[in-house]
C-alpha cells in the first residue's frame, strides 16, 4: 500500500510526462530517492501518495502494455 511522504508538502511538484494535455493531470515530485510521490493536479490539497520505484515501474509497464504505446519516464 502506498504511504504518504512526510516531506511531500514542501516538494517541488511538476506535471508528469505520463499526463496528457487533457484535464486529468498527474503531478510528481522529484528528488526523492527510491520513491515517486504523486498527486492529482486538480486537487492537490487532498494529499499525495508515494510509490516505490519498483512499484511505479511495474505500474508504467502494465499501463504501457494495456495501451500498446511506449511511455516516457516521469
In the structure grid, which three cell numbers stand for residue 28, read together?
Answer: 510528481
pLDDT of residue 55: 93
User: Using one digit for the tens of pLDDT, what is the confidence trace for 21-57?
Assistant: 667 788 888 777 788 888 888 888 888 888 998 998 8
Residue 2 — very low, low, confident or very high, per pLDDT cuts 50/70/90?
very low
Q: How much of the chain exceeds pLDDT 70, in percent?
A: 66
**Does residue 58 register a pLDDT over 60?**
yes
Pair 28, 74: CB distance under 8 Å:
yes
Amino acid at each position: 500500500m502506498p504511504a504518504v511522504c512526510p516531506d511531500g508538502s514542501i516538494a517541488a511538484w511538476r506535471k508528469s510526462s505520463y499526463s496528457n494535455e487533457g484535464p486529468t493531470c498527474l503531478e510528481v515530485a522529484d528528488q526523492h530517492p527510491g520513491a515517486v510521490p504523486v498527486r492529482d493536479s486538480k486537487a492537490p490539497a487532498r494529499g499525495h501518495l508515494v510509490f516505490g520505484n519498483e512499484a511505479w515501474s511495474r505500474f508504467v509497464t502494465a499501463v504501457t502494455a494495456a495501451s500498446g504505446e511506449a511511455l516516457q519516464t516521469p
